[in-house]
Structure 1
Amino acid sequence: MNVDLSDPCEHVAATTIRDVKRPAAGCEDCLKIGGQWVHLRYCLTCGHVGCCDSSPNRHATKHHHATKHPIVTSGERGEDWAYCYPDDRVLSGG
């Protein structure tokens, strides 16, 4: 994920952006409980793979609330964007 730093939020500047390994086998937490997911989100702080808010368990958002890691990126092929939870802001890919 290449976050567009020409207009970053303060959380991009304060976060060491981690390279994420793609593709993932699925949402880490859903795989543990036999859950289903719609789309995947990758935490750019630690690499956690969680499911999106359209998924029943919303593990990416739960991960943010538990860890305060601010930024996720889409795990969908062909999508190049990130999302900052604290700022409720989509960051375009670069």
Structure 2
Amino acid sequence: MSPTDPAIDPAIDPAAEPSGAGCAECLAGSIPGWWVHLRRCATCGHIGCCDTSPSRHASSHAAIAGHPVLRSFEPGESWFYNVLTEKYFVGPTLADPQSRPSDQPVPAPADKVPENWRDYIHPG
């Protein structure tokens, strides 16, 4: 990963707090309503599901909102990704919390994940 690109900095608001502990759209009832991993918008804090997840809400938010920089919202991960340049990079520390709860299962939420969930994921 490369250091933070100064041209990307305007897309990152270190003070923006995460919108919650799970994908905002999936928790709001968007079908199918479960995710594999979570991504955080570095501009506004929106939490969405990753591109492996059936609904790909994080990338959708980036496109619709014009917020191109995502950060992993998984425990132990702090990488950033720019959806426009398709590059990973190191960025600043964002407002806490830094990740979803470590006791949250993967995939989640447990009561929404079908037994055959692997049939619905997108290859990474």
Question: Equivalent pairs: percent with the same residue?
Answer: 40
Aligned match of 2:78: 80
- For the residues of structure 2 that align with 1:19 and 1:73, how far apart are their CA atoms? 14
Per residue, is there more helix in 1 or in 2? 1
**1:25 maps to 2:4:** no
Per residue, is there more strand in 1 or in 2? 1
SS at match of 1:60: helix
Q: Deviations over 1:19-61 (max 9, x none)?
A: 4546x42100000116000011000111100000000000000
- For the residues of structure 2 that align with 1:32 and 1:17, how far apart are their CA atoms? 25
Aligned-CA RMSD value: 2.4
**1:13 maps to 2:9:** yes
Runs of 4+, deviation exceeding 4 Å: none
- Compute the TM-score of the two structures, normalised by the length of structure 2: 0.62
- For the residues of structure 1 that align with 2:81 and 2:6, how far apart are their CA atoms? 10
Q: Which has the larger radius of gyration?
A: 2
Deviation at 1:81, TM superposition (A): 0.3
Structure 2 counterparts to residues 62-81 of structure 1, below 5 A:
62-81=60-79
- Compute the TM-score of the two structures, normalised by the length of structure 1: 0.80
Given that 2:12 and 2:69 are in contact with CA atoms closer than 8 Å, whether structure 1 keeps it comes out as no
Aligned match of 2:41: 43
- For the residues of structure 2 that align with 1:80 and 1:59, how far apart are their CA atoms? 19
Aligned match of 1:4: 3
Given that 1:18 and 1:47 are in contact with CA atoms closer than 8 Å, whether structure 2 keeps it comes out as no
What are the ranges of 5 or more consecutive residues in structure 2 without an aligned counterpart?
93-124
Given that 2:49 and 2:57 are in contact with CA atoms closer than 8 Å, whether structure 1 keeps it comes out as yes
